[in-house]
Every structure is written in structure tokens, then in C-alpha cells.
Chain A
């Protein structure tokens, strides 16, 4: 056995694969003694996902030595979808080029999936200092994005100590959503310096929809005209970081 990871339910894997699927079709995971990780940019290099899933978050974890394995995300998700919420899942890579997925509940199911060639070097992370930090539930963020999406393809986020303004505009009209500190759904607002930046709604909606079903909370950090970072805190998965480059007016 080279690598084996157990979870009490398929939900963790579903959150991870659906997050990754918003950016790429193929993913290379890296397993080490410490845990499992993934890092990758979308083909346009506009967004990056960084997942670190420590061994302690699994129900069981074994990894003899570091290894990389590549999967086609849609195939992996398709198999994982066969498992129900209460099914324990065991994912392993043995000394062949197959990924084994065992679904354990009542009877035993085992899928074997062909691995694909894992892709090259690791992507570095952008070096960023964030001036604004917003914590809210993924569901409320998803609603804000949908509210803006009816009029615009982009969302501007402006925050000061007291409130956050989400806005969007297009030829057809404008949308403004103001959330004051203390509002329902807003868990925390920390602003070192008033910040304003604009981002693509397409990327934000896709990632938020992909993970919002998993509940938890969401930390949004950014600075004026700088990339934004979303941190999804999903139960039993370490952290999922999503970086998105801004749109700027030259």
C-alpha cells in the first residue's frame, strides 16, 4: 500500500472535487506523510486553488512516501457520487496505476479508476497582504453573488470598518448590496484600510456554489486592486483556499 485515506462520508471528497472542477478537468494530488494536497491554476491563470488536507482530518491515513497522482476530475466525481452521505469511503493508490475507491456500508463496493499522468512542477502562491477580512456563510455570499449577477458580469467589493458594499453595473443597470457590521450572515468584519476591488462573478459563483452545500464558513480577504482569497472551512477537510486575480481599469 502506497497511499490510503479514509473518511466517514463522501462529502469531504465531494467538496474537494467540486471545488477543483471549477478550474480544471485534470488534477494532480500530492500525498505526503503529513497529508494530501492540491494546488493548481485555471488555464487562463486567473484563479488558483490551494487545498491542504492534513492527515489528522481523515478517519484514517497512511502514506509510506511522498507520491503524486493525477485524476480526471469528472470521472472521480462520478464514482464518488455513488456513495451516500452515511457511507464511509476509502481512497487508495497501490503499486499500479489505479486509484481504488471503496465504499463501505452494508455491502462493499470497490471502484478502480485509471490514473493519468501527473503534471509537472508546483505552482507558487502569490504573496499578498490583506487589508480587509470578511467572514460570512457560503450561503449568504452565494445569494449576494446571484443578486449582482442579474445585472453584471463583475462584482466590486468595497469595505470599511462599518459596512461592505457589493456592487455591479452594466449597460442594463446597476446593483448595490450593503451589509452593515452586525447583519445576519456576516460573522466578522475587520478592515485595516478601506479596500475596493473588482472581480469576475463567473469564477466566484462557480466556486461558491461548488462548496456552499458543504456548509461551514467562508473567509474573504482582499485589498484594493489586489487578488482576493476565499477560505472555505469545510468540516474534516483542512482548508480550501481560492485565489482570484482582480479586474483593473488601466
Chain B
């Protein structure tokens, strides 16, 4: 893998090239282009949030720019570039005010099956700059968007809507969580689900409101995985320990499945910073949903979704311990899709089987740079292996 400085240099080079190619378009207050479609609802200032479209200054099939399901195997530069191509228009809106032409245009866009032709009139010409601060962004869930400007007017040329999603949009009696589950069961991808969820297009009519993008991603991962976990409860217990290891964009994963009749889930993250210092965070649930917001935030639910999906498909029941080691080369957070899709991908590989927990753990840890002691110290699942269960004494 290239050094961080090399990646940064290449990113900057791409960026300047992009600016040069499109310089004429950026010097106007009117920008037209095909939105993937892509939308953004900020969390800052909640309940008065910034909401708006994200549009590249060019036309065509731009869907890849905002479709993480298609990003697996892409390099960090490519993914950051997708984001850098999007200009974010913003307007401050109260979250429960989901009427009016502007919001309706955005909602139409969220329903669209493919890229949407748009024209955005800005209050002012966007300022273009790319500095190191942006590239060392450590906000865990957002890919940096470089340029944004307040929108004065936004127009779209509607294209075909996704009928599955449209049906839930018109159903004003269905709970938002049920709508999310039904869309998922109907093979709608998570990115599309979170777009309509964040635009206040699902749920009981009177409860609908805008949901910051980041929250909607977490909520959808949480809702869908909770739904899957209910279904796997009575599955056959996995017959041996199963370990998957995977490296995705300088994130090293070890996913350890533990035969168990009670659902236990833990994700431990160790983040190695550029000075070589290690920071560890972990969250855990036993028998039921975690009852507080996890310290590792949205990563927890994205990972839980990927493993619940695996158990559901394999019709098995197990507990799961995930070790995630983040290396310094992952210097821009690309979003929690990286975790969801990375783990989904790793679970397509053939896992390694083990007869004992210790051997499974030892193998999982051998793919990371932390010692077994450091992981154990931070793991509730490992500590709680000493805890017997009442069910052990029933016979």
C-alpha cells in the first residue's frame, strides 16, 4: 500500500485536474448536472438543519458517485474522488416541515431509480479549496464534501421512480420501521432506503420528518438487523467456531462466530493513529439490543447488519465477536458503508473452522497487530465466557 503522503498527493492532483476541467462551470451561480441521485440532511443545528441535493457539474450516468454498494474493490482515491465531484447545495429547513417545492423536488429525486437531471441556482459562487485539514478529517461517518453553497432555486427533470419505494411513500399508516424492513425484504439496497428515510418519506404521515443522513444510516442498519436477529433466534446452532478475516481499505477485520443459543454481539475497534498510538473502543450486547448509543457509533449497527444477514442466510444461530483494526492509511473516514460492505464481502469467502474458542480467537488475532492481551482486556464477550448460565444447570 502507498504511504499516506503519496495518497494525499494523488488526491490533490486529481482534485486540481477536476477543477481545471470544470473551471468554467464553477464560476457561475447556476450549476447543472445529473445527480446520482444524492441528497444530504445535516445534523448541525437540529431541528433546523441544512438539507439539499448533491450534484456533479456534468451529465450522464453518475450513479456510482453515491452508491456504496458498488464501491467494493475501489481504492480510497477513487472513493474520495466520487465525493469530491459532488457540489452540495444547502438550505436551512425545520425537520418537521416537509412540504413545499424544494423539499418535494428532493423527495422526487430520492425516489428516482437512476440519475436525475438537475439545475441548481446558488446564492453565491462556491469557494473551492482542498486543504490538509479536510484530508485528515477524523469525523467517523462522513466523507468530506469539499464544496457547498446555499441554494436559491432547485429544479429537477423527473425520471422513473422506484415503484417498491413509491408504494411505501404513499402508505401513510405504515410505521417507518416496518417500511424499512419491508423494503429490505424486497431487495431494496440500504443506500436507497436511507435516502427516503432521511427525506421524511416513510412512516405514519403525521410523524414524518427529515432525518440527518448520518442518523438515517444508523437507524436503517439498526432496524434491519434487529428484524433479522428476531428471525435467527431459533435457528440451529452453528456446529463449530468460524473465523473470517478481511482487509478493506486499511481496515483489518476478524469476524469470529461462536456457537451459542443466546445472541451476544461485540465489536472492538482499535484505531492506530499516525504516531503509532492505539485507541480502543468497544460495544456489546447480550441477549437483546444494546440499550445505549454505542461508543463506536454507527459502525456497530453496520457490522451487526452484515453478520445478522449471514446467519439468516445460513439459517444458523451464533454469537459474534468482531475485531476491527484501523490502520493509519485509512486517514479519511469513508463512512460506515465501508464496514457493512467490507464485512458482507468477507463473509462470502470461506471461513476457517475451529473446534475451540481459544484456537478461533488466536487465529483471528493473528491477523491483527494488537496482542491477545490487549484484545481480551477490552472484550466483554471474552470476559463473560467465565460467566455460566442458568441453562447450564437445567438438564
Q: Which of B287, B390, B392 has the most CB of A within 10 A?
A: B390
In the complex, the answer to whether B386 meets A247 with C-beta atoms within 8 Å is yes
In the complex, the answer to whether A127 meets B387 with C-beta atoms within 8 Å is no
Q: How far in angstroms is the closest Cβ of chain B from A82?
A: 26
Residues of B within 8 A of A48 (CB): 390
Asked whether any CB of chain B lies closer than 8 Å to the CB of A250, the reply is: yes
Asked whether any CB of chain A lies closer than 8 Å to the CB of B391, the reply is: yes
Residues of A within 8 A of B262 (CB): 43-45
A227–B392 CA distance with the chains assembled, in angstroms: 10
Asked whether any CB of chain B lies closer than 8 Å to the CB of A121, the reply is: no
In the complex, the answer to whether B386 meets A250 with C-beta atoms within 8 Å is yes
Residues of A within 8 A of B388 (CB): 46, 227, 245-248
Asked whether any CB of chain A lies closer than 8 Å to the CB of B1, the reply is: no
In the complex, the answer to whether A248 meets B386 with C-beta atoms within 8 Å is yes
Residues of A within 8 A of B389 (CB): 44-46, 245
Q: Which residues from chain B sit less than 8 Å from chain A, CB to CB? A: 262, 264, 286-288, 385-395
Asked whether any CB of chain B lies closer than 8 Å to the CB of A47, the reply is: yes
Out of A44, A47, A227, name the residue touching B393 (CB < 8 Å). Answer: A227
- The digit string for A238-250, where 1 denotes a CB below 8 A from any CB of B, is 0000011111111
B interface SS class: mixed
In the complex, the answer to whether A127 meets B395 with C-beta atoms within 8 Å is yes
Residues of B within 8 A of A128 (CB): 393
Pair count A-B, CB < 8 A: 54
A interface SS class: loop
Residues of B within 8 A of A249 (CB): 386
Asked whether any CB of chain B lies closer than 8 Å to the CB of A101, the reply is: no
Asked whether any CB of chain B lies closer than 8 Å to the CB of A179, the reply is: no
Q: Which residues from chain A sit less than 8 Å from chain B, CB to CB? A: 41-48, 124, 126-128, 200, 226-227, 243-250
Q: Which residue of B lies closest to A127 (CB)?
A: B393
In the complex, the answer to whether B286 meets A43 with C-beta atoms within 8 Å is yes
Residues of B within 8 A of A126 (CB): 390, 393-394
Q: How far in angstroms is the closest Cβ of chain B from A198?
A: 8
Q: Which residue of B lies closest to A226 (CB)?
A: B393
Q: Can you list 7 A-B pairs, Cβ within 8 angstroms, ordered by A?
A: A44-B262, A45-B391, A46-B387, A226-B393, A245-B387, A246-B388, A248-B386
Out of B264, B287, B390, B395, name the residue touching A227 (CB < 8 Å). Answer: B390
Q: How far in angstroms is the closest Cβ of chain A from B351?
A: 24
User: Given known contacts A45-B262, A247-B388, what 18 new A-B pairs fall within 8 Å (CB)?
Assistant: A42-B287, A43-B262, A43-B286, A43-B287, A44-B287, A45-B391, A46-B387, A46-B388, A126-B393, A126-B394, A127-B393, A127-B394, A127-B395, A200-B387, A227-B390, A245-B388, A246-B388, A250-B385
Residues of A within 8 A of B288 (CB): 43
In the complex, the answer to whether B394 meets A124 with C-beta atoms within 8 Å is yes
A247–B386 CA distance with the chains assembled, in angstroms: 5
Q: How far in angstroms is the closest Cβ of chain A from B394?
A: 5
Q: Which residue of A lies closest to B387 (CB)?
A: A247
A63–B387 CA distance with the chains assembled, in angstroms: 40
A244–B390 CA distance with the chains assembled, in angstroms: 7
A42–B393 CA distance with the chains assembled, in angstroms: 15
Out of B287, B390, B395, name the residue touching A245 (CB < 8 Å). Answer: B390
A245–B385 CA distance with the chains assembled, in angstroms: 12
Q: Which residue of B lies closest to A225 (CB)?
A: B388
Q: How far in angstroms is the closest Cβ of chain B from A224?
A: 13
Residues of A within 8 A of B391 (CB): 41, 45
Residues of B within 8 A of A44 (CB): 262, 264, 286-287, 387, 389
